[in-house]
Amino acid sequence: MLQESNAIALFPQLSDEVLQHLQDYGTEIDLNVGEYLFKEGEHSYDFHVVLDGEIQVTKQVGGQEKLLAKHQRGEFIGELSILTEADSFATGYATQPSRVLKLELKTFKQIIATFPPLADVVLSTFAARTKAVESQLQQQEQLASLGKLSAGLAHELKNPAAAGARVAEELRSRFQESQTLALRLNQYSFTPAQLDFLAQLQQDSRVSHKLDLISQSDREDEITDWLEDHQVNQAWQITSTLVDAGLDADKLDALADQIPDVAINDVVHWLGANLTTLGLIGEIEQSTARISELVQSIKSYAHINPLQQHQVDIHQGIENTLTMLGHKLKGGIAVTREYNPNLPLINTYGSELNQVWTNLLDNSIDALEGKGKIWIRTYQKDDYVIVEIADNGPGIPPEIQTRIFEPFFTTKGVGKGSGLGLDIVHSLIVDKHHGQINLHSQPGDTRFQVLLPILGNGD
């Protein structure tokens, strides 16, 4: 809720004299508990004054209803929409039986122009409320953004963690099988030369050999025929493992030349079990590496002191952000990077730039609705590092392009956007970093261009 310390500036009560004057021009509305005075997204250009009861104002942010204010007798609502002639950015409804005075747009403007006591209060309150609401919603927008990123990261972490747990369970079974088969080989009393051959064969077979589909199928048929010719039980269970390890009929013939026929079945199954075990260990390594990568991205994304400037690698910040948003990119969105490999480090606020990349990329992702392309290009021009983030979505209509950086302006549906994402971007780039942000948009090519001073002359 808006800060109590600003209550006088944010919620001034109109005097009885002003209320009496307004009642001559307005229409009274009676509201029961729960009835709406106005709804978010509606074309509500009316000015309202609470005569009795209480009106609560809320806004959908990140899928949750956030309380902005409670208005009681003498307090007014609706000046933001009526002065900007923008759709209502919040919802107002009665929390107790209420009576509200409604002034239509034309009437309100006439009174503002001819009745100074009201104009002074409304205009000063408009400025104070706009600043306070924007500040509050910016914080909530950032928290909502972090919430979405956290949910996505939980999903990203869950996949390798679940894979690791599944593989560990299978590894336990395969390890026991390998141990049992190793004990069975003792009965054959292999010579030192034979044991050295088996050890070398296993060592040579550790590297995975990927074949194209046709070659893979042909090799599997070849191995299957060899195993069946040498009476190896359940050949189908180990054929793919042997092929992936690079074995073929010639190598298996060399194996058969080294050991007695009676041992071939157990030796081949022992080799297959060991190779499978090694493959499972490799999968666990991949899972843990992915978890480590995600954790490192989280640390790099979030740990930077927001109050101090640092030497920042723009590419690392963008890549960390892409990792954080990875769950939203899967399934049909391709990202093309055109990075300048010689881009200099810049002295700036790294964590706040990460918020910029998050908002711009998240907007592109939303515009693509699950399918399309995003391009990220970096280069240097004079004393600026330039980052371009583009997508091939439907574009932003020309008639609203000049308004997209305005606070509370959004083209998204109710509850899907606070209208502060690009306002935050503009504030961080222009006000905090003394940079520039430009927009070019047409169907199939929406491009945000961010210019950042290399020397970092931010506040």
C-alpha of 106 from chain center: 44
pLDDT digits (tens, 9 = 90+) for 23-81: 888 899 999 999 999 888 787 778 888 999 999 988 876 667 778 888 888 888 876 66
Taking the C-alpha atoms of residue 159 and residue 293, their distance in angstroms, rounded to an integer, is: 13
The helix (run of H) or strand (run of E) holding residue 136 is helix 116-185
Flag whether pLDDT at 122 surpasses 80. Answer: no
Residue 307 has a pLDDT of 55
Position 414 scores a pLDDT of 42
The per-residue pLDDT of the chain, averaged, comes to 80
| More confident: 27 or 6 | 27
The sheet with strand 333-338 has its strands ordered as: 333-338, 372-381, 384-391, 445-453, 436-442
Residue range 238-256, pLDDT digits in tens:
888 888 888 888 989 998 9
* Alpha helices, H only, 340-395: 350-368
Kindly list the distances between the CA atom of residue 312 and the CA atoms of 308, 323, 455, in Å, as whole numbers in the listed order. 12, 17, 11
Rounded CA gap, 226 and 147, in Å?
57
Percent of the chain with pLDDT over 70: 78
Residue 137 pLDDT > 70, yes or no?
Answer: no
pTM score = 0.47
Structural domain spans, the chain: 4-114, 156-289, 305-453
What CATH number should be reported for the domain whose range is 4-114?
2.60.120.10
Q: What angle do CA 388, 394, 400 make, to 5 degrees?
A: 80
Residue 441, sorted as left (phi over 0), alpha (psi -120 to 50) or beta, turns out to be beta
- Please answer whether residues 439 and 396 qualify as being in contact, where contact means their C-beta atoms are separated by less than 8 angstroms: yes
Average pLDDT over residues 412-435: 69
The count of residues in the chain is 459
In order of 138, 295, 336, 358, 361, the CA distances from 324 in angstroms are 20, 10, 17, 9, 11
pLDDT confidence band for 324 (50 / 70 / 90): confident
388: part of which helix (H) or strand (E)? Answer: strand 384-391
In tens, the pLDDT along 107-117 reads 887 877 777 77
**Residue 301: its pLDDT value, please?**
60
- The tokens for 77 are 């609502």
- pLDDT at site 114: 79
Say yes or no: domain 305-453 is CATH 3.30.565.10: yes
pLDDT at position 136 is 56
